[in-house]
Amino acid sequence: MGAGLGGAWADGATRSAIEDFVGQVTETGGPDFVEPADRVAVFDNDGTLWCEKPMPIQLDFTIRRLAEMAASDTELQQTQPWKAAFEHDLQWLGAAMVKHYHGDDRDLKLLMGAVTQAFDSVSVENYDARVRAFFNGADHPTLGRPYLDSGYVPMIELLRYLEANGFTVYIASGGDRDFMRPVAGRLYGIPPERIIGSALGLSYREGADTTELLYKAAMDFFDDGPEKPIRIWSRIGRRPILSVGNSNGDLPMLAFSGQPDRPSLRVLILHDDADREFDYVAGAEQALEQAREKDWTVVSMKNDWTSIFAPVDT
């Protein structure tokens, strides 16, 4: 095994748990050695690799489109979630995701239905361009930094550390696959083919000299909860031995990682640093309880990370 984790990780039990596990599975001839092809790691994205409060970044991108639609339609202005987008009601929008993590999907279904309408018949290239334009100009609403600088430095160090030790890393997120793909390389060094996420349906159209893939006004699948292991297996064809998440929606992915006859590491990110990021457990209560019961590794942002974000040039 090469060098350990980077300087954004404080010395202590959490850092040691990660480094010890990597040492176990990479020790040639050791009892827990895992062949490089089977060293698969999966990471959630929102709240795990980048900041998800006061709302997920993709939600900001989406509500800007919904507000644009509602601006010229008084009926939409009175219909959720366009109403919340038009009025910039972050509380309603953020609560929809928290309710989802507690098993109440009523508001999330309204939101997902609106998302499909917002990008109906948009080509994949056009959508990609919209995402890139958004990231090139959008800032986090409270942290005073661009969204492109809202990734967690310790997690990026962890990605590089795992890759240096023969792991193949995938992102398995409830977020839209095609929203992450245009920026995952720049943010995390992860190529688009290793992004697993939710997806709108697609249709193919062929013209005289052109071909197009267009989004449909319908979800293909929502990659959260029990869907995550299904999508992971469908894409990778291997069971991960390391998984990292931060919410109840990540529990099936965490549980799926590893088998009784093979070493595994499950990691949960705890948001407990109100000074440098945010302090919350809403939507992660079940995950934290299982982490305690099953002795999973819980990362305290406050205690285990010497820094959270990279400095922003002013």
Residues 188 and 203 in one domain: yes
Residues 215 and 293 in one domain: yes
* Number of domains into which the chain is organized: 2
pLDDT tens for 230-254 read: 999 999 999 999 999 999 999 999 9
**Nearest partner of 15 among 233, 192, 294, 265, judged by Cα:** 265
Residues 102 and 23 in one domain: no
In a domain, 211, yes or no: yes
pLDDT of residue 93: 77
The CATH number of residue 38's host domain is 3.40.50.1000
In a domain, 260, yes or no: yes
Residues 187 and 67 in one domain: no
Of 96, 119, 142, which residue sits at a domain end?
Answer: 119
Name the residue range of residue 288's domain.
13-51+150-304
Residues 32 and 86 in one domain: no
Of 73, 104, 119, which residue sits at a domain end?
Answer: 119
Residues 46 and 62 in one domain: no
Please state whether the predicted TM-score (pTM) of the whole model is above 0.75: yes
Q: Which residues of the chain have pLDDT under 70?
A: 1-2, 314
CB atoms within 10 A of CB 300: 15
